[in-house]
Amino acid sequence: MHALIIRLGRLLATEHLRALLYGAVLVMAVRVLGAALAYASHVLLARWMGVFQFGLFIYAWIWVIVPAYLLPLGMSAAVVRFVPEYLTGGAPRRLRGVIAFSRRLTLASGLAYALLGTALLRLLAPHLPAGHATPLRLAVWCTPLFALMLLHEGLARGFDRVLLAFTPQYLWRPLGLLLLGGLLYSRGWPLDATLVMQLSILVCGVVLLGQMALFRHGLPATARRARPVWQGRHWLRIAFPMLLVQGFDLLFLNTDLLLLGVFATPDQVGIYNAAVRTAGLISFVHYAVASLAAQRFSVLATRRDRARIERLLRTSMHLMFWPALAIAAALALLGPTLLALFGPEFRAGHPILLILIAGHLANAAVGPLSALLNMTGHQASNARIMAATALVNLALNLLLIPLWGIRGAALATVTAMLLTAGLLARGVHRQFGILPLPLARPAMHD
């Protein structure tokens, strides 16, 4: 025990790794608080709106989230690489340029999406179920605002401003919607999907303005005064593979539930979704560490410091794997109790939960390899891996769901997750000569 304490003290004495651990804990706290807030807001909105209107709102909100991640055309991920590169390299004009370019690009693509979506919905309105057209029309106009929020999350991550990066989406927005919805409900307003989508547009707009104001306030004076230099073709060439990664990641994350909606009964879909949400608690650790490590990988890649990249990767793997293992053990033991919170019939999802836990553990075991490839110039390789595994996931779900239902969906998804971990580890080994294994000793020096 004494030796372990000494090793931990040495680890925390290094600047990069101490900052990484502090930031990861901070992100983890925001994500956990945000998850609790989101859960509470969904429970209250469902009670205030009723099952049908709440379901209609959730369906409309899906058409906000999924396109919003794609509208920045990969720049929301690319700026996490470019901002540290230009800060480290003393290039304020290019820094100002990439900020302005990514904002204008996201705004232009968002407006194009909203106009096209409005026109398409106008054509489809007679064929849509009753009450669907108006919430969906509002959703397509909320999407550009949410896309700009995601872009500024990436920009704040690039500047290593952890709270500004993650609190707008995970805390400010759901809290604002909950407070406004609760105020109107207490005044006797009947909440339906249309009204809640209108509130969502208002909340996203206010949150975005606050996010942009705080971001500008924290910009270095040299960047604020600099005349921007545009390198749009160069930025998009690097961002496009990251866009593919985001797109295939969205496909990967939603394939099982989308296909279960076709092949399984609604109660089976509900049980599976409860297991997915419960197992997803493990991914908070992965997300927290990867989000912070990405910015530092970019800085070290700019300095061409491969030794520190390896040390940072090794430490990140330990920060991911061991907490994830502890959470996985707790979920495996407490799974029936946790699933019963959704309702007694959800206990049937415990075998599904155990299968999904294995996939999340494999993801945690190899560390933030996708972020490492993206931030060090190997984003094309990362995109090929994500494309291949997303298609394998789709094929396996199509094959196994008709045979074994929700158990088939879980097996298909976890098989694809294991394949992703293996291919990412192979890619990093080929590029850096590093064999990512969670049992390797963490680096002690930075």
Q: What per-residue confidence (pLDDT) applies to 23? A: 58
Distance CA 261, CA 411 (A): 17
Kind and range of the H or E element at 147?
helix 133-158
Q: Helix (H, G, I), strand (E, B), or coil: what is residue 227? A: coil
Residues ≥6 apart with Cβ < 8 Å to 152: 164, 168, 208, 211, 212, 215
Examine the pLDDT at 16 and tell me if it is beyond 60: no
Distance CA 237, CA 404 (A): 42
Confidence class for position 18, pLDDT limits 50, 70, 90: low
**How many Cβ atoms from other residues are within 10 Å of residue 160's Cβ?**
18
**How many Cβ atoms from other residues are within 10 Å of residue 93's Cβ?**
16
pLDDT tens digit sequence for 163-179: 898 899 889 999 999 99
Q: Helix (H, G, I), strand (E, B), or coil: what is residue 435? A: coil
Examine the pLDDT at 51 and tell me if it is beyond 60: no
Distance CA 18, CA 76 (A): 26
**Rounded (5°) CA angle 431-314-87:** 75
- Helix and strand numbers, DSSP H then E, in the chain: 17, 0
Residues ≥6 apart with Cβ < 8 Å to 187: none
Give the mean pLDDT of the chain: 83
Residues ≥6 apart with Cβ < 8 Å to 114: 140, 141, 143, 144
Residues in the chain, overall count: 446
Q: What per-residue confidence (pLDDT) applies to 198? A: 96
Q: Which two tokens stand for residue 40?
A: 């509470």
Domain ranges (residues) in the chain: 1-230, 241-439
Q: What per-residue confidence (pLDDT) applies to 211? A: 96
Highest mean pLDDT among 20-24, 88-92, 204-208, 241-245: 204-208
pLDDT tens digit sequence for 376-407: 878 788 888 888 998 999 999 999 999 998 89
Q: What per-residue confidence (pLDDT) applies to 366? A: 80
Query: Taking residues 51-77, what's their average pLDDT?
Result: 82
pLDDT tens digit sequence for 250-279: 777 777 776 775 677 656 766 777 788 788
Task: Enter the DSSP assignment of 445.
Answer: -
Q: What per-residue confidence (pLDDT) applies to 131? A: 77
State the maximum Cα–Cα separation within the chain, in Å, rounded to a whole number.
72
Distance CA 184, CA 191 (A): 8
183-219 b/e (C-beta count within 10 Å ≥ 16 → b):
ebbeeeeebbbbbbbbbbbebbeebbeebbebbeeeb
Q: How far is CA 246 from CA 70, 239, 374, 379, 438, in A?
A: 7, 10, 11, 11, 26
Q: How many CA atoms lie within 13 A of 245 on its CB side?
A: 25
Q: What per-residue confidence (pLDDT) applies to 8? A: 45
pLDDT tens digit sequence for 138-149: 999 999 999 999
Helix, strand, coil percentages, rounded to 5, for the chain: 85, 0, 15
Query: Taking residues 310-332, what's their average pLDDT?
Result: 86
Query: Taking residues 11-21, what's their average pLDDT?
Result: 53
242 contacts 74 by C-beta, under 8 angstroms: yes
Q: Where are the beta strands (DSSP E) in 134-207?
A: none
Distance CA 275, CA 355 (A): 10
248 residue type, one letter = F
Q: How many CA atoms lie within 13 A of 197 on its CB side?
A: 29
Q: Which two tokens stand for residue 429?
A: 């080994």
Nearest residue to 236 via CA among 102, 86, 372:
102
pLDDT tens digit sequence for 201-222: 999 999 999 999 999 998 888 8
Distance CA 441, CA 315 (A): 8
Distance CA 282, CA 280 (A): 5
147 contacts 104 by C-beta, under 8 angstroms: no
Q: How far is CA 138 from CA 37, 150, 176, in A?
A: 24, 19, 18
Distance CA 107, CA 114 (A): 10
Distance CA 277, CA 76 (A): 25
State pTM to two decimals. 0.69
312 contacts 297 by C-beta, under 8 angstroms: yes
